[in-house]
């Protein structure tokens, strides 16, 4: 039987019987027209932007007593997992298009999910690299990782494939501290002894590293080990 899980709550637990099996959407990169003087036709240029995609799930409610729980659970933003791909999740905004009174009278409940790009690996392990190694990106586009490490030298250089980032860690700090490279949010910071995150972008050179599709060589100097959450994703 088809089911979905939204923010940890299963459609089964809400008494929802899904009429048609939902499948995750695919996302296509948007393009824009470019006019060049002297050319008879426009060119299409990729923008690097992917629009949200919507999933509509038609459900029958098996127990009318569960309507309050349904309207409580299926709202807002959260992680969506479909039974057709239980190893992936999407970030989605859930809405119920019809009022509760109408739904109770019909004993039906359409559920709408506005899904952000992309589908991500559910339960992805954190990879630990001591000094160098190889990590494989099994997704269908480049992955934007979250990377943490504790510097042991005044300078740290991290290389993933063709992307190199250098960080000057000779800052007025006492004791060990953790550096985080948050590529999805384009942040680099260290966490001090009271748990405050302090930006170190001004101490860095290079680019935010990403994992291209397939195997990626990883090399790090200046840290004993590097912890990498790759964030594999699919169109």
Exposure of 196 by Cβ count < 10 A (0-12 exposed, 13-18 middle, 19+ buried)?
A: exposed
Q: What is the pLDDT of residue 227?
A: 97
The fold for domain 127-234 equals Jelly Rolls (2.60.120)
Find the range with the poorest average confidence among 43-52, 71-80, 170-179, 182-191.
Answer: 170-179
pLDDT by residue (tens digit) across 155-167? 899 999 999 999 9
Residue 117 has pLDDT above 80, yes or no: yes
Q: What percent of the chain has pLDDT over 70?
A: 97
* Distances from the Cα of 195 to the Cα of 88, 172, 178, 191, angstroms: 31, 16, 10, 6
pLDDT range class, residue 104, cuts 50, 70, 90? confident
pLDDT range class, residue 154, cuts 50, 70, 90? confident
pLDDT by residue (tens digit) across 192-228? 888 889 899 998 999 999 999 999 999 999 998 999 9
Rg (CA), the chain: 23
Q: How many C-alpha atoms does 110 have within 13 Å on its Cβ side?
A: 8
Domain 4-121 matches domain 127-234 at the CATH topology level: no
Tokens of 27: 């996302």
Q: pTM of the predicted model, to two decimals?
A: 0.85
Q: What percent of the chain has pLDDT over 90?
A: 67
**Is the pLDDT higher at 214 or at 103?**
214
Residue 172 has pLDDT above 60, yes or no: no
- Provide the residue ranges of all domains of the chain, joining segments of one domain with +: 4-121, 127-234
Q: What is the pLDDT of residue 173?
A: 52
Architecture per CATH, 4-121: Beta Barrel (2.40)
Q: What is the pLDDT of residue 174?
A: 53
* Termini Cα distance of the chain: 25
Residue 137 has pLDDT above 90, yes or no: yes
Residue 143 has pLDDT above 90, yes or no: yes
Per-chain mean pLDDT for the chain: 91
pLDDT range class, residue 44, cuts 50, 70, 90? confident
């Amino acid at each position: 039987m088809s089911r979905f899980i939204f923010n940890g709550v299963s459609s089964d637990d809400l008494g929802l019987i899904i009429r048609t099996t939902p499948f995750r959407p695919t996302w296509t990169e948007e393009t824009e027209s470019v006019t060049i003087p002297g050319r008879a036709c426009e060119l299409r240029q990729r923008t690097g932007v992917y629009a949200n995609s919507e999933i509509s799930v038609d459900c029958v409610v098996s127990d009318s007593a569960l309507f309050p729980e349904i309207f409580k659970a299926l709202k807002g933003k959260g992680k969506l997992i479909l039974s057709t791909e239980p190893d992936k999740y999407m970030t989605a905004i859930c809405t119920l298009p019809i009022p509760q009174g109408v739904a109770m009278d019909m004993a039906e409940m359409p559920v709408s999910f506005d899904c952000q790009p992309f589908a991500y690996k559910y339960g992805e392990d954190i990879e630990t690299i001591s000094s160098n190694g190889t990590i494989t990106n099994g997704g269908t586009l480049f992955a934007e990782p979250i990377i943490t490490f504790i510097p042991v030298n005044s300078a740290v250089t991290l290389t993933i494939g063709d992307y190199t980032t250098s960080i000057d860690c000779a800052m007025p700090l006492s004791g060990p501290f953790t550096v985080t490279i948050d590529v999805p949010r384009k942040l680099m910071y260290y966490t001090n002894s009271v748990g405050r995150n302090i930006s170190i972008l001004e101490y860095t050179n290079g680019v935010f590293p990403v994992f291209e599709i397939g195997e990626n060589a990883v090399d790090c100097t200046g840290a004993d080990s590097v912890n990498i959450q790759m964030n594999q994703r699919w169109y």
